[in-house]
Amino acid sequence: MSKQLRPCPDCGAPIGERHRAGCDIERCYHCGWQALGCLHFDPSDARRQAWNGKWPGEEDCERLDFFVNGDADFPDLNRLFTDCVWDADTGRWERRQ
């Protein structure tokens, strides 16, 4: 099933653009968690990720084949956050070693 990609549901950023200030969905590039309120987050960091139309972590679940009951329509974000660690160099979640 193909999902239609839409602007960020919190700040309205279009696909390919950075989130607006104070967005509740944007992730901190340094730790992978929510940027809003994160002490590590720097809004001027050039590595900030643009909104890609998917909830944070969905692409990593797809890459790592983490799905609830094997259903590709339901990325298993709980497993991602439990079984993986954030790699700030690549800006993505990786399996724990």
Are both 24 and 49 inside the same structural domain?
Answer: yes
This prediction has a pTM of 0.84
Q: 32 and 63, same structural domain?
A: no
Residue with tokens 């590039």: 29
Domain total for the chain? Answer: 2
Q: Which domain holds residue 65?
A: 58-89
Evaluate whether residue 78 is within a structural domain. Answer: yes
Tokens at 13, concatenated: 């950023």
96 within a domain of the structure (yes/no)? no
* 43-81 as b/e: b if 16+ CB within 10 A: eeeeebbebeeeebbbebbeebebeeeeeeeebbbeebe
21 assigned to some structural domain? yes
**47 and 64 housed in the same domain:** no
One digit per residue, pLDDT tens: the chain, 97 residues?
A: 456 779 999 999 999 999 999 999 999 999 999 999 999 999 998 888 899 999 999 999 999 999 999 999 999 999 999 999 999 999 999 999 8
Does 45 share its domain with 68?
no
Residues 48 and 67 in one domain: no
